[in-house]
Structure 1
Amino acid sequence: MSVQIRPIEGADKAAWDSLWDQYNQFYKRTIPANVTITTFSRFLDEKYRMYCVVAVDSESNDVVGFATYYPHQSTSTIDEVAYLHDLFVEHGARNKGAGRQLIERVYREAKTLGCDSVYWHTQYFNHRAQLLYTKVANRTDFVQYQKNF
């Protein structure tokens, strides 16, 4: 499978919604509809520094994956860093290079934005994705804590 990686467009909403639903099901989380709507609109609004790129199957022209990311300041560097927030490739397109290409596109975009690194988190049980992640980045020793309000 050959894919092209490009910025998300308004016409991608239905495809992204479907992939977003699959992604959230995988992580066993429920995102309110208003959050999903707002998130998608932020990708298209230049005043927000929240970005999304999609993987498009070159033959079918179907959107088969996405990555979301945003740059932010850090206390450990003068330059910004980028957080790769979400990465998903539909089941039928996995192990064919789309995930790697999405990550590499985020790397290029982050460099263009002046970031000095890209980082992300994943669930401990996401073993399949970790097989890719260990090939394209270095695993850190950090453990995440969270308090919801």
Structure 2
Amino acid sequence: MIKNALDNHISVLIVDDQRTMRLILRDLLHGIGVREIHEAENGEAALDVLHDHGLSYPDLIICDLHMEKMDGMEFCNTVRRSDQLRDRQVPIVILTGDQNSLVHEVSRQVGASKVMTKPINATQLKNMMAEGIDYSLEIAQ
């Protein structure tokens, strides 16, 4: 469980096809004390990071829902079925501008720990991390 980014050395993987959004999230995470931040521009690139570059077990993945090549739902579903990450049950937070409750429910069904609606601010991000997201994989098992 991630209780407080300021009290824990945690690793976060940001997955978003928009460079500006990755920079915003990086700044927000730095602002709440997270120092180890990795980035990927889509789900496929994130899987490459997870499998090929030693970041096999991030403490948290923050992933956009709508991306080219591999969207957030497909990425989440793939991670949950991966032999490498399934036992770790890494929390995956899906970010979306879509407020449709069905989209949120389907995201959770494919293994998202939490779905948050954009725009997101530092307080929301810190609160999400402070409340802990270790309940994440009840759905994905």
Q: Same fold (TM over 0.5)?
A: no
Name whichever structure is richer in strand by fraction. 1
Question: Computing the radius of gyration over CA atoms, which structure comes out larger, 1 or 2?
Answer: 1
Scaled to the shorter chain, the TM-score interval is 0.3 to 0.5
| Higher-RCO chain (CA-CA 8 Å, sequence separation at least 6) | 2
